[in-house]
């Protein structure tokens, strides 16, 4: 596609709409199914808690940084087993801001206040970079953010998911913030929610990108339509992940429910089951602190669940468990 020098600087790329229909409909269907499932589910809050940790982990993975979800959970609980690395600290920022976005009004993340909170502060001028011909950014990061925001406003008339795909593509191409490269996916997810496409969750955009193994940076030379298709497909993959996670939680609740029969009213097992379902992993100190019981009592609760929980570390000094299904 050739650039028309007389055209406005900020404009949507020319898209092959016929090719977009199937991936768009598939993504919309999967997201709607997940939204409805969570809307009526008693597991919704636990699902959001679990997937917030996973999405924060995936946000850094997409940018080539590996962070353990176990370390994320323990850091959030103030029970680190080692000094936090810079990468873990960044993942915690992403996790905390995702939680804040969900608790805030649906328009907050894309307001001036919200963007400032998400981005913290933008880096200064950076090296020039090559992007495709439908958007040529200025050199300064702050200018790139302004242009990205203006572009998102210009395409408000498009369907929420097409708009989200183009906005995410543009963010990955121009990187308005090198300090917070994950911020674009976070704001795009908030845009999908603000448009009413979801009401019960924030989209799992980074999980979708990770699971689909599509690298937005590596495919810079592909057409805008191809990239939009790949991003829409990743939206569907993220929603499928969310549906599968909800199914896992429902099955785990059913199997763990067998441990609740004939319990005394003072038993902490019901609270323990709720805790296990709301976190990707648990440890003895974490269970003891959350339930306000002794470490010995916490270990008894874990042991009573037997094979219904799966040990995920295999280390004697640091042991952690997750649901076994």
Residue-wise pLDDT tens digits, 131-166: 343 444 445 667 888 889 999 999 999 999 999 999
Is 4's pLDDT higher than 80? no
Q: 245 vs 7, 40, 60, 303, 309, CA distance in Å?
A: 46, 15, 20, 24, 16
pLDDT, tens digit, for every residue of 222-242? 889 999 999 999 999 999 999
pLDDT at residue 316 in the model = 67
**Do 279 and 194 reside in the same domain of the chain?**
no
Considering the domain architecture, whether residues 118 and 267 belong to the same structural domain is answered as: no
Whether residues 121 and 182 fall in one domain: yes
Three-state DSSP at 310 gives strand
The residue among 219, 247, 275 that closes a domain is 247
Extract the tokens encoding 49. Answer: 């808690």
H-helix or E-strand spanning residue 309 = strand 309-311
Which distant-in-sequence residues (6+ apart) come within 8 Å of 59 by Cβ?
91, 94, 182, 185, 186, 206
| Token reading at 59 | 């946000």
What CATH number is attached to the domain comprising 143? Answer: 1.10.3290.10
Q: Which domain holds residue 272?
A: 262-323
If asked whether residues 238 and 302 sit together in one domain, one would say no
Residues 203 and 311 in one domain: no
Mean pLDDT of 262-273: 88
| 64-91 b/e (C-beta count within 10 Å ≥ 16 → b) | ebebebbbbbbbbeeeeeeeeeeebebb
For residue 125, tell me if it sits in a domain.
Answer: yes
**Residue 8 banded pLDDT, cuts 50, 70, 90:** very low
C-beta of residue 286 within 8 angstroms of C-beta of residue 74: yes
For residues 212 and 133, the model is more confident at 212
Same domain, yes or no: 81 and 175: yes
CATH number of the domain residue 314 falls in: 1.10.10.10
Lowest mean pLDDT, pick from 109-118, 239-248, 249-258: 109-118
In a domain, residue 37? The reply is: yes
Percentage of residues in the chain having pLDDT higher than 70: 87
Domain assignment present for residue 200? The answer is yes
Cα–Cα dist 91/182, whole Å: 10
Answer whether residue 176 is part of any domain. yes
The rounded mean pLDDT for the chain is: 87
Given a contact cutoff of 8 angstroms between Cβ atoms, the answer to whether 193 and 202 are in contact is yes
pLDDT range class, residue 126, cuts 50, 70, 90: very low
- Rounded to an integer, what is the distance from CA 71 to the centroid of its chain? 17
Instruction: Decide if 116 is inside a domain.
Output: yes
Residues 234 and 290 reside in one and the same domain = no
Same domain, 114 and 231: yes
Same domain, 267 and 237: no
In this structure, of 126-130, 262-266, 291-295, 305-309, the range with the lowest mean pLDDT score is: 126-130
Locus of tokens 């103030």:
78
pLDDT at 115: 85
pTM as predicted: 0.87
Q: How far apart are the first and last CA of the chain?
A: 49
| Token pair listed for 220 | 């810079």
Instruction: Select from 199, 214, 247 the last residue of a domain.
Output: 247
Domain count, the chain: 2
pLDDT at 189 over 90: yes
**Residue 111 to residue 233: CA distance in whole angstroms:** 28
Cβ neighbours around 257 below 10 Å, total: 12
**What value does the mean pLDDT take over residues 167-174?**
91
Domain boundary among 192, 212, 247: 247
Nearest to 238 by CA among 192, 278, 170, 178: 192
Per-residue confidence (pLDDT) for residue 219, from 0 to 100: 66
What gap in Å lies between CA 39 and CA 196, rounded to an integer?
A: 13
- Asked whether the predicted pLDDT for residue 216 surpasses 70, the reply is no
Query: Would 299 be classed as within a structural domain?
Result: yes
- pLDDT of 217 reads 64
* Residue 165 CA to its chain's centroid (Å): 15
Residue 10 domain flag: no
Q: Are residues 52 and 97 in the same domain?
A: yes
252 is a domain residue: no
- Do 58 and 92 have their domain in common? yes
- Residue 127, pLDDT > 50, answer no
C-alpha–C-alpha distance, residues 239 and 234, integer Å? 9
pLDDT band at 12 (very low <50, low <70, confident <90, very high): confident
Same domain, 139 and 277: no
Confidence of residue 214 (pLDDT cuts 50, 70, 90): confident
């Amino acid at each position: 596609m050739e650039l028309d020098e007389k055209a406005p600087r900020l404009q949507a790329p020319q898209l092959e709409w016929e090719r977009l229909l199937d991936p768009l409909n598939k993504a919309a269907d999967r997201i709607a199914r997940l939204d409805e499932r969570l809307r009526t589910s008693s597991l919704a809050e636990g699902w959001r808690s679990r997937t917030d940790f996973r999405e924060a982990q995936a946000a850094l993975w997409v940018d080539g940084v590996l962070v353990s979800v176990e370390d994320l959970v323990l850091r959030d609980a103030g029970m680190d087993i080692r000094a936090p690395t810079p990468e873990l600290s960044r993942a915690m920022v992403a996790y905390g801001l995702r939680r804040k976005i969900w608790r805030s009004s649906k328009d907050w993340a894309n307001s001036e206040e919200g963007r400032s909170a998400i981005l913290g502060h933008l880096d200064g001028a950076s090296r020039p970079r090559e992007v495709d011909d439908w958007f040529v950014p200025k050199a300064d990061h702050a200018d790139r953010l302004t242009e990205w925001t203006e572009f998102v406003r210009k395409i408000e008339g498009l369907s929420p998911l097409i708009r989200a795909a183009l906005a995410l593509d543009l963010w990955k191409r121009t990187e308005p913030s090198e300090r917070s490269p994950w911020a674009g996916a976070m704001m795009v997810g908030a845009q999908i929610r603000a448009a009413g496409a979801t009401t019960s969750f924030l989209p799992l955009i980074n999980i979708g990108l990770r699971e689909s193994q599509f690298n937005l940076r590596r495919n810079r030379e592909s057409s805008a339509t191809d990239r939009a298709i790949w991003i829409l497909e990743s939206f569907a993959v993220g929603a499928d992940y969310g549906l599968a996670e909800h199914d896992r939680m429902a099955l785990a609740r059913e199997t763990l429910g067998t441990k609740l029969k004939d319990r005394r009213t003072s038993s902490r097992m019901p609270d323990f089951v709720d805790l296990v379902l709301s976190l990707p992993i648990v440890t003895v100190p974490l269970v003891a602190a959350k339930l306000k019981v002794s470490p010995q009592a916490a270990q008894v609760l874990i042991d009573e669940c037997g094979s219904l929980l799966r040990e995920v570390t295999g280390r004697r000094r640091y042991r952690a468990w997750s649901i076994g299904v």
